[in-house]
Amino acid sequence: MSESAQHMSSVDARRAIEALRSGVPNRDAVRALGCMQPHALDAFAVMLEELAAPIGDHGFPIVPGQLVSGDFGSGKSHLLGFLAMESLDRRFVSSTVVISKETPLYDPVKVVDAALREGKIPGATGSAVGELAQRIDYAAPEAEPLVRWAATVPDFFAATIHLHRHLKDPDLLEKIVAFWSGGKLGVSEVRAGLRQVDASKAFTVTRLSQVELALLRLQLCSYLARANGYNGLVVLLDEVELIGRYSLEKRGRSYAELSRWLGLPGADAIAGVTCVATITDDYEIVVLNERNDQVLIGERLRTKGGDANLVLAARAEAAMRLITRGHLLLLQPTVDTLRESHDRLRRVYEQAYGWPPPPLLAERTSTTRKMRSYVRRWINEWDLLRIYPGVTVTLEEDVVRSSYEEDVSLEQESEVSDTE
Amino acid sequence: MTALLHPDEWVDTIDREYLDDFIKDGGASIKFAVACGDSNASSIAEQLKQRAKQRSYVTIEISAGATRVHLIDKFFDAVATQVPWDELTTRVLVRFAQENGLNIPAVLGDSLERSLAHHNGLDAAFVRATLERPLGQVVFRDRLLTKEFRLAMTWMCRARLRGGEEGAIMRQDIERWLQGTPAAGVMARQYSIFTKVNRFNARYFFASLVHWIASAGLPGTVITVDITGLTAPRRSGNGANFYTKAALLDAYEVMRQFVDSTDELTNLLLCFVADESLLDTQPGSRGLGAYQALQNRIFDEVRDRDRVNPMGSLVRLGVGSFGSDVGDEVAR
């Protein structure tokens, strides 16, 4: 799927180089450089195939996800960028969420909201849910699974689907679509809508919890996708290792949520959604082992008591086992893959600037550095040689180490505007 | 000691490598310019702004001291307040008029349809109908604009066409909605705009806005954001915003999202201008070290011993060299 540099416009080639300067492999960079992780691509292809299968009477299947690990700078984000493009090319809605202060993994509502916001369908800007909702034809055969599924969900949510199908009130329709994308919608508003379409008695509208709503929204997105001729929803979670900086309790909840996203058995997985998540490969040693999470998390949750905490403990432990031995490790670059990446990047750089960059790989080259380091070094050196012809370039590099120091400020709620 | 790049040289490079072609050809770039030593962040921002103005870019200036940059919707509001909306809508409509065979008078009055009608010997209603068609076909269907933004720009164009009190009210309502004025959301409903700009959609509106500016035939947008006050550990006492640790991290997260979203942005140079405190990579600091996700993306851990790469995501500007020896281990 990688695109030859000569087929890229110079603007797109420059976009690729600009993105690589930030270590953020954008669409153009990923297209140009391709992906040299065949085992990850093969596993992903199987996941997509399962998700694209015809929907039976029981709805979408659960398609277990994949946890990918690699050192800092080894190309995890690049892989996710490639998978995002593969997803779109194969007619999936694709959503990439970077675990961050705004999207803490322990809070499923925030992560789902982000997944819906970041959802992309080919050729459209803005909310994927909004675009899909706008285009849906409820009478089409493709919408049948959605209609069947709507009959199985709690009445509040089912009522919104019914209203979207039958209501003419543009204001309320907008609110419903906004609600599906994560916004608020009151019980009284839904009831008022049902009165407009003479369906007051068809639904018993009562509040749902935010978590329940979030999971329903995610599934709805998949059904909307299928109703519009797409195959389902792929969620890509990047930088999961940030959870190592949370407190013990939040780490426990994060592990439990990771279980859910990856569709582990007993984890209340989300049908119609498959997920690939990335984590640094030293997480096991530094966090799980050195902080003894594999013992302490379960102990803490079980001590709290209650069925919910027992379930959380089990899910958290399942995720920790996956981090220990169920993940897919990124392949280190070989001399051949390094040379291939170098040559491709050289062509992109030339296409970007109309200037032929000199080769920078020695005949005998070792592969001791991370790919990120190579890419940054190559681009830095070409930039300097191009802008300052004849200059001698002597690159130095700071050693970058992971820090998993706990930071409670990452768990503090973000401020909201006074207008919200 | 770490090499520095003279600010003049950096601005020259940005002008040559970005403003002269890449940005106006549709590219987008996010830069962090760090004023080191005696160099001054505000004058760097001003130099960049002047260079952009010379090339007819729309220039926007934001200061973290005055705008709460950790709130993306407030960031958008601050941008929207400085956009020359009237100029943009006029440009778009003039282009439509030319494409439909209308001659353009040297001076355009308050009501564009009346000006064009008078100049072309036509009825104003005919001119309105003629230009409504491309509004509906081009503006309203531009999929690179979010739905609400398309509606807003369609109404702004209508306001410019009509002029007079009717047009003024329309324009004011839409501008107030774009700028996040309280209660503007209620007024916007009459234009079928039901969503206000909030922290969840502000980024999409931002992408739409920079695309709209380019659609109006301008080379693009240059935004300078002075973040020198962001890292201040305590209130300054001069009324400038103070950022708690949590707000600081939120601000870094906003920046991280911009860095990650260049795929969705067009014709934009967004430059954060900071002082040296940004370069503190200790995890407990208020510099980049406080937020690994941003540090990992922009920090210049690979650099030449003797010179700064002026194309870098983060550039250290000043005269001579400064700071500690390179090669120090950086805890991420």
| Average pLDDT score over residue span B38-66 | 96
Chain B: residue whose CA lies nearest to A416 = B71
Contact A192, A243 (CB under 8 A): no
pTM above 0.90, yes or no: yes
pLDDT at B69: 97
Interface touch B309/A23, C-beta < 8 Å: no
With bands split at pLDDT 50, 70 and 90, how would you rate the model's confidence at A363?
low
Interface residue A408 vs chain B (CB under 8 A):
no
Nearest to A23 by CA among A281, A336, A380: A380
Out of A10, A377, A401, name the one closest to residue B329 (CB): A401
Tens-digit pLDDT profile for residues A127-173:
799 889 999 999 999 999 999 999 999 999 999 999 999 999 988 99
| Average pLDDT score over residue span B131-154 | 89
CA atoms within 13 A on the CB side of B268: 27
DSSP B252-264: HHHHHHHHHTGGG
pLDDT at A25: 86
Q: Which of A22-36, A101-115, A145-159, B2-16 has the lowest mean pLDDT?
A: A22-36
Nearest to B79 by CA among B258, B262, B298, B315: B258
To the nearest whole percent, how much of chain A has pLDDT over 90?
77
Write the DSSP symbol of residue A126: S
With bands split at pLDDT 50, 70 and 90, how would you rate the model's confidence at B47?
very high
pLDDT at B322: 65
Write the DSSP symbol of residue B193: -
Out of A126, A384, A414, name the one closest to residue B309 (CB): A384
Helices B202-215 and B72-82 cross at an angle (nearest 10°) of 20
Length of chain A: 420
Interface touch B309/A15, C-beta < 8 Å: no
Is residue B324 over pLDDT 60? Answer: no
Tens-digit pLDDT profile for residues B266-309:
999 999 999 999 999 988 899 999 999 999 999 999 999 999 99
Contact B131, B97 (CB under 8 A): yes
Tens-digit pLDDT profile for residues A173-196:
989 999 999 988 999 999 999 999
pLDDT at B325: 41
Q: Which of A297-301, B137-141, B179-183 has the lowest mean pLDDT?
A: B179-183
Contact B69, B227 (CB under 8 A): yes
pLDDT at A4: 66
| Average pLDDT score over residue span A50-64 | 91
CB pairs under 8 A between A and B: 182
- The residues pairing with B35 across neighbouring beta strands, listed in sequence order, are B275, B317
| Average pLDDT score over residue span B227-236 | 92
pLDDT at B328: 39
Q: Which one is predicted more confidently, B49 or B188? A: B49
Contact A242, B283 (CB under 8 A): no
pLDDT at A266: 85
To the nearest whole percent, how much of chain A has pLDDT over 70?
96
Q: Which one is predicted more confidently, B185 or A357? A: A357
pLDDT at A416: 76
Residue-wise burial string across A347-356, b where 16 or more C-beta atoms lie within 10 A, e elsewhere? bbbbbbbeee
Write the DSSP symbol of residue A418: T
Which residues 60-119 of A are in CB contact (within 8 Å) with B? 72, 98, 100-102, 113, 117
pLDDT at A364: 62
What is the spatial distance between Cα A396 and Cα B306, in angstroms, rounded to a whole number? 10
**Which residues of A are less than 8 Å from B283 in CB distance?**
403, 405, 407
What is the spatial distance between Cα A263 and Cα A256, in angstroms, rounded to a whole number? 11
pLDDT at B31: 98
**Which residues of A are less than 8 Å from B200 in CB distance?**
113, 117, 181-182
Q: Which one is predicted more confidently, A240 or B324? A: A240
Interface touch B28/A242, C-beta < 8 Å: no
Min distance A314 CA to chain B CA atoms (Å): 30
Mean of the per-residue pLDDT values of chain A: 92
Write the DSSP symbol of residue A411: G
Q: What residues contact residue B151 under an 8 Å CB cut-off, 6+ apart?
A: B140, B191, B192, B193
Which residues 349-388 of A are in CB contact (within 8 Å) with B? 373, 376-377, 380, 383-384, 387-388
Interface touch B329/A117, C-beta < 8 Å: no
| Phi and psi angles of residue B270, each rounded to the nearest 5 degrees, phi first | -115, 115
Strand order in the sheet with A328-329: A93-98, A233-238, A273-280, A66-70, A328-329
Out of A113, A123, A400, name the one closest to residue B332 (CB): A400
Is residue B329 over pLDDT 50? Answer: no
With bands split at pLDDT 50, 70 and 90, how would you rate the model's confidence at B181?
confident
DSSP B266-323: -SEEEEEEEEGGGG---TTSSSGGG-HHHHHHH---EEESS---TTSSEEEESSSEES
Contact B265, B15 (CB under 8 A): no
**Which residues of A are less than 8 Å from B332 in CB distance?**
72, 400-403
**Which residues of B are less than 8 Å from A388 in CB distance?**
307
With bands split at pLDDT 50, 70 and 90, how would you rate the model's confidence at B42?
very high
pLDDT at B142: 87
Is residue A306 over pLDDT 50? Answer: yes
Interface touch B200/A113, C-beta < 8 Å: yes
Q: Which amino acid is at A77?
A: S
Q: Which one is predicted more confidently, A169 or B181? A: A169
pLDDT at B236: 86
Write the DSSP symbol of residue B16: I
- The residues pairing with B302 across neighbouring beta strands, listed in sequence order, are A397
Interface residue A322 vs chain B (CB under 8 A):
no
Interface touch A18/B27, C-beta < 8 Å: yes
Is residue B201 over pLDDT 90? Answer: no
| Average pLDDT score over residue span A361-386 | 87
What is the spatial distance between Cα A180 and Cα A190, in angstroms, rounded to a whole number? 13
This model of the complex carries an ipTM of 0.92
Query: What residue ranges in A233-272 does DSSP mark as E strands?
Result: 233-238
Tens-digit pLDDT profile for residues A70-127:
998 899 999 999 999 999 999 999 999 999 988 999 999 999 999 999 999 976 767 7
